Chain A
Amino acid sequence: ETGVTQSPTHLIKTRGQQVTLRCSSQSGHNTVSWYQQALGQGPQFIFQYYREEENGRGNFPPRFSGLQFPNYSSELNVNALELDDSALYLCASSSGGVNNEQFFGPGTRLTVL
């Protein structure tokens, strides 16, 4: 176990709806990164939060947004869901820095119908 938790574990939504996914980082970590992993693919970087500020973003549209709280837990919000948003959403926490290890949570499986 990495100490990183995510909720919910599974979620089913319909097109056009909005979803919020949650991540609790490992104790002592101030950085949370979010990834989208489609079936059979490697994870794709969505964005990263460091000390409550967005610290880099991948190639995802603005309807993917996030938030980090003072306790360093984080949320990923997706508006106007599309079928292609169906994926495993992973969060990873770290203490920041280029060579620091990122610890992944178990993921949230989102299905959009």
Chain B
Amino acid sequence: KNQVEQSPQSLIILEGKNCTLQCNYTVSPFSNLRWYKQDTGRGPVSLTIMTFSENTKSNGRYTATLDADTKQSSLHITASQLSDSASYICVVSADTDKLIFGTGTRLQVFP
């Protein structure tokens, strides 16, 4: 069964600190992996998208890594800001553009 699992479920950090979110998937065949940021009650916004051949991609303070052999990905956030408080969702696409979503990690950044 195609699944995407994320950890931790929730995370609290202080402003200015770094954090890393994890994603494991069992989707096959694999096409690409995306990280989205979703504010409460809003639509997800894309942060990064990586194909099989890419193992790291950055978008400002966000850096995603991908290990296609172990089927793991991580999202590293550097120097966190209050505006980073949101849910971060790992999404995997099989051989079509239909997306399989994880349940997300809820990040709260406190001053």
- Which positions in A face B, CB cutoff 8 Å? 2, 4, 31, 33, 35, 40-45, 48, 56, 58, 88, 90, 92, 94, 96-107, 109
Is B44 touching A104 in the complex (CB atoms < 8 A)? yes
What is the CA–CA distance of A48 and B98 in the complex, to the nearest angstrom? Answer: 8
Is the pair A45, B98 in contact by a Cβ cutoff of 8 Å? yes
| In the bound complex, CA of A13 to CA of B24 (Å) | 37
Chain B neighbourhood of A100, CB < 8 A: 97
Q: How far is the CA of A94 from the CA of B34 in the complex (A)?
A: 14
- In angstroms, Cα B41 to Cα A106, docked, is 8
Q: Given the known A-B contacts A41-B103, A42-B101, are A101 and B46 also in contact in the complex, defined by CB atoms under 8 Å?
A: yes
Instruction: With both chains docked as a complex, state the minimum distance between the C-beta of B65 and any C-beta of chain A, in angstroms.
Output: 18
B67 at the binding interface (Cβ < 8 Å): no
Q: What 1/0 flags go to B63-104 for Cβ under 8 Å of A?
A: 000000000000000000000000001000101111111111
Task: Assess whether A98 is in contact with B43, with CB atoms less than 8 Å apart.
Answer: no
CB distance A99 to B51 under 8 Å? yes
Shortest beta-carbon distance from B49 to chain A in Å: 6
CB <8 Å contact, A99 and B98: no
Can you list 25 A-B pairs with a CB-CB distance of less than 8 A?
A2-B43, A2-B45, A42-B4, A42-B102, A42-B103, A42-B104, A45-B99, A45-B100, A48-B98, A56-B98, A58-B98, A92-B43, A94-B97, A97-B97, A98-B31, A98-B97, A99-B31, A99-B51, A99-B97, A103-B46, A104-B45, A105-B43, A106-B43, A107-B43, A109-B41
